[in-house]
Amino acid sequence: MKIAIAQLNYHIGNFEGNVKKIIDKIHLARKEEVDIVCFGELAVCGYPPRDFLEFKDFIQLCERAIEQIRIASIDIAVVVGSPTVNPVPEGKDLYNSAYFIADQEIIHVQHKTLLPTYDIFDEYRYFEPATEHKTVVYKNKRIALTICEDIWNIGNENPLYVTCPLDILIDQNPDFVINISASPFSYDQAEERLDVIRANALRYNIPMFYINHIGAQTEIIFDGGSVVMSASGKIYEEMPYFKEHYRVFDLEKVLIEDQSIEQPKDKILEIHDALVLGLHDYFDKLGFKKCIVGLSGGIDSAITTVLAAKSLGANNVRVFLMPSQYSSDHSIDDSLLLCKNLGVQYDIVPIEPLFKEYLATLKPIFGDFQYDVTEENLQARIRGMLLMAASNKFGNIVLNTSNKSEAAVGYGTLYGDMCGGLSVIGDVYKTEVYELARYINRNKIVIPENIITKPPSAELRPNQKDSDSLPEYDILDDVLRLYIEERKGPEEIIKLGYDPTLVKRILRLVNINEFKRYQTAPALRVSSKAFGMGRRMPIVGKYLS
C-alpha cells in the first residue's frame, strides 16, 4: 500500500483555494498510483475558523468542498478534515471530523474526541466530542483514524481528559494509525510533538502517519514537520518545516525497515523561519504587498526590517528614519548602513520641528510642569502619526517593532511606537532578539555590529538607556519567562533565588499594563504562551497590582 502525505498551507475560509490545492494533490497521487492521500485537520476551511463556524453558510461551503473532493476521488482514497453537522439536537451543533473517502464514496467519518480548550485552542466552544470509535478497512488494511489532540492522552494519563481514543481503537487490531492535525508552532513544540507520536507508536506497537499544516493564520503559525513513525518508535521520515511538501510512502517498508531520520532542532533558527513565514502569510492572505517600518537605529527595528525584507522582498519594504534632537549620530548612520545592506527604500523625516510645535501648542496648558514621560511619549506619538500617515497614503502596512520584554512591562507608547498592523517580534524576548541578530549575521554582516553591541535606548531624552527604567534584560527576561510561560507566582519565583522587591516590581508592571497589550496589534506566536488570544487576563484585576 502506498500512502501520501500532503503537508499544505491552507487559508481560512478560502474554499476555492483550499479545495484546488487538495484536488491537485489528489490528481498527482493518482498518477503515482497512491492508495491513500492524507490532508490536515479542518483542511477544507482552514484552522482555526473560530466563529465562522457559527454561520450556516460557512458550514454549507464546507459540505460543498467535501462533495468536490468526493467527486475527485476516482481510484484513490482521501483522508481530509472538515466540520460536520451534529444531527442530534443535544450537544454542540458541529463535530470536528476526518473523512475517509474512496472511489467517490464516503466510507467513514470519524469525529474528534479530545477537544482542546486551553491557550490558543477553543474547540469545545464549537464542537461536540465523539462517542464512537471505529477503524476503517481499506484494501485489506485496518486503519485507526484520529484527529490531532486524540493522540495526546497516552494511556489516559492527561488530566484534561477521561477518554483515550487509541485505547479503544487498538482493540480493533488496526495495522496503522493516521492522525490529521493542525498543531501550531512554538519553539519547543516540535520535540514535544515527536515525543507524543513516539510514545503512541511504542505503546500500541503500531506505525503512525501524522499530517500537519504549515502556514500562518494571523498570529498562529503552523510549522509542518509531518512524520511517519515506525512501530519501534523511530522516525521513519520527518518532513520539512515551514514549507509545503508532498511525499509518498510504501507502507510495507515502514512496517519492516528500522531507519531513523530526525532533523536537528535549533530554537533561534526555528523562531527566525517561523517569523519569516508568519509575516509572509499575513500579507499574502490579506492581499497586502508592502510594509513600512520606523527604523530607529536600535536592534528591534533592525531585526523587524531584516525579517520584512526576507519575507516580503526588499523592494516591498520602506523605512522611515525619524531622528529627534536626542538621536545620536551613530543611530542614523547605523540605520543608513542597514538600509544599504538590505537594499530597502528609506526616508529621513526629522521630528524636532514638529516636537517643538507641539511643545509650543501645549505650553499654555502645561505651564511650568517639568519635562517627563509626557514629552517622551509625545515624540513616540509624532513618529507613530508619521508612519500611519504614510500607511494611509501609500496603502502600506506599518509593522510594529516592540519585543516581548517591552510589551510585558509596558515599556512602549500607545498610539506611538506600539502602533502597527502586525507585531513581528512581540513574542520574542529582548535576549532572544540579540540571538536572532547573531543568527542573521552568521555568514555576513547584515545588521551593523554597533546596533548589536551598543546599550539599548529609546533616545527620548539626553543619554537615556533602557536600564534607567528597567532591570537588565537577562534578569528581566528570566523573571518574565517564569511568570508568563511557566505560570509561576511571585513566591515561587522568589524561592528560585530572585530578589523579592525586583520580582514584585516586574510582575506588577506586567499586570498593570494589560490595558496596553489589549489595544495592540496581533503578535506572531513563537512561544508556548504569547500575549494575545492564548493569554486571557483581566484588565482591572487586583492581583499583584
The total number of residues shown for the chain amounts to 545
Does residue 417 share a domain with residue 349?
Answer: yes
CATH number, residue 146 = 3.60.110.10
Shared-domain flag, residues 209 and 322 = no
**pLDDT, mean of residues 5-31:** 98
Q: Are 127 and 96 in contact (CB under 8 A)?
A: yes
Q: Please tell me whether residues 215 and 295 are part of one structural domain.
A: no
pTM to 2 decimal places: 0.95
Q: Which set of grid coordinates corresponds to residue 36? A: 491513500
Q: Looking at the domain assignment, is residue 541 inside a domain?
A: no
The residue segments making up the domain with residue 58 are 2-265
Q: Is residue 190 part of a domain?
A: yes
Same domain, 231 and 334: no
In whole numbers, what is the pLDDT of the chain averaged over residues?
95
Q: How many domains in the chain?
A: 2
- Integer angstrom CA distances of residue 240 from 8, 36, 244, 246: 11, 20, 8, 10
Stretch 191-212: mean pLDDT, rounded? 97
**Weakest-pLDDT range from 213-227, 281-295, 456-470:** 456-470
CATH classification of the domain holding 361: 3.40.50.620
Together in a domain, 70 and 55: yes
The answer on 280 and 256 residing in a single domain is no
Q: Is the pLDDT at 244 greater than 70, yes or no? A: yes
Angle at which helix 500-512 crosses helix 473-484, to 10 degrees, equals 70
pLDDT for res 461: 73
- Asked, for residue 170, whether it belongs to a domain, the answer is yes
Domain assignment present for 160 = yes
Residues recognised as catalytic = 41, 112, 148
**Residue 110 in this model has a pLDDT that exceeds 80:** yes
Sequence-ordered list of residues with C-beta below 8 angstroms from that of 506, at least 6 positions apart, any chain: 409, 471, 476, 479, 480, 483
pLDDT of residue 204 exceeding 70, the answer is yes
Q: Please, are residues 8 and 213 in contact by the beta-carbon 8 Å criterion?
A: yes
My answer on whether 140 and 234 are in the same domain is yes
Q: Catalogue the E-assigned strands of 360-511.
A: 397-400, 422-423
- Rounded to 5°, the CA angle 472-384-281 comes to 85
Do the domain assignments include residue 523? no
> Cα angle vertex 384, ends 378, 389, to 5°?
125
C-alpha cell at 43: 483542511
Domain boundary (239, 265, 291) is at: 265
Please report the pLDDT score of residue 466 as a whole number: 77
Claim to verify: residue 137 and residue 241 sit in the same structural domain: yes
* Domain final residue, candidates 249, 265, 281: 265
- Quick check: is 539 in a domain? no
Q: Is the residue at 259 inside a domain?
A: yes
Residues 281 and 253 in one domain: no
Quote the pLDDT of residue 149. Answer: 97
Kindly state whether residues 277 and 176 are assigned to the same domain: no
Candidates 80, 151, 140; CA nearest to 110 is: 80
Give the pLDDT confidence score for residue 16 in this predicted structure: 98
- What digits encode the pLDDT tens for the residues 478-488? 999 999 999 99
Does residue 455 belong to any structural domain of this protein?
yes
What does the pLDDT look like over 260-277, one tens digit per residue? Answer: 888 999 999 999 999 999
pLDDT tens-digit readout, 296-350:
999 999 999 999 999 999 999 999 999 988 877 888 999 999 999 999 999 999 9
Do 286 and 197 share a structural domain?
no
* Nearest-5° Cα angle at 476, 504 to 384: 105
Do 253 and 394 sit in the same domain of this protein?
A: no
Give the separation between CA 229 and CA 486, rounded to whole angstroms.
Answer: 30
Better-scored residue on pLDDT, 454 or 35 = 35
428, with CB counted inside 10 A (0-12, 13-18, 19+), is: buried
- Which of 423, 425, 422, 544 shows the shortest CA–CA distance to 483? 544
pLDDT reading at 107 higher than 80: yes
The pLDDT value recorded for residue 545 is: 63
